[in-house]
Chains A and B, each alone.
Chain A
């Protein structure tokens, strides 16, 4: 079974950047990618993109292209999502989640709260 553990909550000033980590443990074998999503307070789910932990290949939502950067460190089974030039609209809980083959997203990390405020 795979478990995903994310880094802790962060507070940033507008214009700053954030880098959230997502570490996989347990059964990390198999072909899968890690997706990043976010959920603003009281809102629904928004997809940001995905990164392949083995190849490093990425696919970003058009809204975030040119801004979000998803990377990985295969040696420690960790992927990262970096978002620069933060605004208050980026305040949200950020989730990582695995997609194994052509399936839904499971499991999910516990979420990382990012608050952008001056």
Chain B
């Protein structure tokens, strides 16, 4: 199975901060990577797919980049609802796998 690692595992931030989270795949996955935000007690919400394609309705402060094995999620100006856990997800091959998450508090 393709393994995904994320860094950092957690970070402290403030409203208005710019954040970057990285995700690395154990083998090349082209651009078959998604990013999700999960607020406490809620299901994950899809933010980015195809590594860099912003999902309809998602604020433009979110952006994604990368291909192959190295990917990043950037939040340009952190908002109160962004204090959550972020997961990357590869859908290049089954079984689908997820990164361990990055908690932003």
Contacts and interface: CB of A to CB of B under 8 A. Distances in A.
A99 B94 CA distance: 13
Interface residues of A, number: 22
A97 B48 CA distance: 16
A45 B95 contact: no
Given A45-B87, A47-B95, A61-B95, A106 B55 contact: yes
B44 A108 contact: yes
B46 interface: yes
A60 to B, nearest CB: 9
Chain B interface, >50% SS class: loop
A62 B97 CA distance: 13
A36 to B, nearest CB: 11
A3 to B, nearest CB: 12
Interface in B75-98: 87, 89, 91, 94-98
A102 B91 contact: yes
A44 B91 contact: no
A111 interface: yes
A95 interface: yes
Contact of A44 (B32, B87, B95): B87
B97 A47 contact: yes
B95 A95 contact: no
12 contacts: A44-B98, A44-B101, A45-B87, A46-B98, A59-B94, A62-B95, A102-B32, A103-B50, A103-B91, A106-B46, A107-B46, A111-B43
